[in-house]
């Protein structure tokens, strides 16, 4: 749509600007302040420059958390995106089942995150949980609080359970927007199922899939509550992702300087990756002429 230039539109944006400035800019300034200062208590601060940043960049702890975070986000993206597309392709075409599937699929998305954690904490317990009990009955030695591998599997399966529906819903919306004529043309050409997917469905889904990947990347990179409830970041530090580590540092040990420096770098990484996605996304939008 052709937009007209009108500087007065700023007045319409003003309320958002004021509100977000209050809830984002002020707190961010606090973080920046802490990241370049040190304190001996009594609210007396002095300038330390980039010392905290250097300390954090040299700390194995942050790199280890970052490595775990990247591996985690990569694994869940690799599982959830293809699985979500597969589910979307198998959605019923019409009738009451569409509504039933949509509602049931959306259900995990609306559960408070710590309850998601609680559900899986219970579900995986060997004594009272269905999953843990079944695995134990099958003779598999499964214990997510002691064994690193089991803890990772539990956290990943939990995330797949929690968020695959998001990808599926988006892919489904993309599929629904394909006109029937495309399929008819493909049938006349006797295109194979794979060709239909590769040359009709996938290109039409690209836009929404980019949104899905962006959302899943962002949210998995900030994940805190769910793994914290299930594993508490353990065993040891095995599932201590960036946010868990940061909260430990800031609210647990009250190491404000390092935590602030950590926060800024953390935020910048997310910003950078999201900016790349955003650019790709807007370019796709433009190409489709939206």
Residues 220-259 that bind another protein (CB under 8 A): 221-222, 224-225, 242-244, 246-247, 250-251, 256, 259
Which CB, 91 or 151, lies closer to another protein?
Answer: 91
Residue 72 found at the interface with another protein (CB under 8 A): no
Q: Rule CB under 8 A: choose which of 48, 156, 173, 196 binds another protein.
A: 173
Q: Rule CB under 8 A: choose which of 35, 73, 154, 263 binds another protein.
A: 263
Task: State how far the Cα of 216 lies from the Cα of 25, in Å rounded to an integer.
Answer: 25
Residues between 8 and 67 with contacts to another protein, criterion CB under 8 A: 8-10, 12-13, 15-17, 19-20, 22-24, 26-28, 30-31
DSSP-derived secondary structure for 207-236: HHHHHHHHHHHHHHHT--HHHHHHHTT-ST
Residue 78 found at the interface with another protein (CB under 8 A): no
| Residue-level length of the chain | 290
Cβ density class 218-229: b for 16+ within 10 Å, e for less? eebbbbbebbbb
Task: State how far the Cα of 109 lies from the Cα of 43, in Å rounded to an integer.
Answer: 42
Is the CB of residue 126 less than 8 Å from the CB of residue 234? Answer: no
Provide the terminal-to-terminal Cα distance of the chain, rounded to the nearest Å: 8
Q: Rule CB under 8 A: choose which of 174, 233, 257, 258 binds another protein.
A: 174
Residue 79 found at the interface with another protein (CB under 8 A): no
Q: Rule CB under 8 A: choose which of 178, 215, 238, 280 binds another protein.
A: 215
β-partners of residue 37 are 47
Q: Residue 91 is encoded by which pair of tokens?
A: 């959605």
Residue 7 found at the interface with another protein (CB under 8 A): yes
Q: Is the dihedral of CA 66, 245, 239, 236 positive or negative?
A: positive
Minimum CB separation of residue 152 from another protein in Å reads: 18
The phi, psi pair for 45, rounded to 5°, reads: -115, 150
Q: Rule CB under 8 A: choose which of 103, 138, 180, 289 binds another protein.
A: 103
Q: Rule CB under 8 A: choose which of 36, 62, 208, 230 binds another protein.
A: 208
Q: Rule CB under 8 A: choose which of 39, 99, 253, 283 binds another protein.
A: 99
């Amino acid at each position: 749509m052709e937009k007209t230039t009108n500087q007065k539109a700023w007045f319409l944006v003003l309320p958002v600007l004021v509100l977000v400035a209050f809830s984002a800019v002020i707190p961010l300034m606090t973080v920046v302040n802490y990241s370049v200062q040190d304190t001996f208590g009594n609210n007396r601060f002095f300038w330390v420059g980039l010392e905290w940043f250097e300390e954090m960049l040299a700390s194995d702890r942050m790199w280890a958390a970052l490595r775990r975070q990247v591996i985690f986000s990569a694994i869940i993206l690799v599982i959830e995106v293809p699985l979500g597309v597969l589910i979307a392709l198998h959605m019923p075409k019409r009738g009451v089942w569409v509504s039933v599937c949509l509602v049931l699929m959306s259900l995990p998305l609306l559960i408070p995150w710590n309850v998601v954690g609680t559900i899986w904490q219970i579900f995986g317990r060997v004594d009272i949980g269905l999953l843990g009990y079944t695995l134990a009955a099958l003779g598999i030695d499964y214990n997510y609080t002691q064994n690193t591998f089991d803890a990772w599997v539990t956290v990943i399966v939990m995330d797949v359970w929690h968020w695959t529906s998001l990808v599926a819903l988006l892919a489904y919306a993309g599929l629904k927007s394909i006109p029937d004529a495309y399929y008819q043309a493909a049938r006349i050409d006797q295109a194979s199922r794979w060709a239909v997917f590769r040359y009709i469905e996938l290109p039409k889904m690209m836009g929404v899939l980019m949104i899905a990947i962006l959302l899943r990347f962002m949210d998995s990179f900030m994940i805190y509550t769910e793994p914290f409830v299930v594993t508490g970041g353990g065993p040891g530090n095995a599932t201590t992702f960036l946010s868990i580590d940061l909260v430990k540092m800031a609210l647990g040990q009250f190491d404000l300087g390092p935590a602030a420096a950590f926060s800024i770098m953390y935020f910048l990484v997310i910003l950078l990756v999201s900016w790349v996605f955003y650019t790709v996304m807007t370019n796709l939008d433009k190409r489709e002429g939206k």
